Amino acid sequence: MVANLKDTPQWMSEEDYLASELEREIKHEYIDGYIYAMSGVKKNHQRITANIDRAFGTFFKNKPCESFASDIKVKVGSKFFYPDVMVVCNDNNQDYYTETPVIIVEVLSKSTRRKDETIKKIAYLNIPTLQEYVLIEQDFVDVEVCRRQEGWISRHYFLGDNVNFESVGLIMPVEEIYARVDNPEVRTFFTPTEISTN
- Rounded CA-CA distance 13/92 in Å is 21
29 within a domain of the structure (yes/no) = no
> Residue 55 domain-assigned?
yes
Q: Residue 122 falls within a domain, yes or no?
A: yes
Condensed to tens digits (0 to 9), the pLDDT of residues 36-86 reads: 888 888 999 999 999 999 999 999 999 999 999 989 999 999 999 999 999
Note down the domain range covering 134.
41-197
- 157 within some domain: yes
Nearest to 106 by CA among 91, 124, 131, 129: 124
Predicted confidence band of residue 10 (pLDDT cuts 50, 70, 90): confident
Q: How many CB atoms lie within 10 A of CB 109?
A: 17
pLDDT tier for residue 193 given thresholds of 50, 70 and 90: low
Q: What is the pLDDT of residues 146-158, one digit of tens each?
A: 999 999 999 999 9
Kindly state whether residue 61 falls inside one of the protein's structural domains.
Answer: yes
Question: Which amino acid is it at 155?
Answer: R
Task: Give me the CATH number covering residue 92.
Answer: 3.90.1570.10
Determine, yes or no, domain membership for 89: yes
Number of structural domains, the chain? 1
> What predicted TM-score, i.e. pTM, was given to this entire model?
0.88
Is 8 a domain residue?
Answer: no
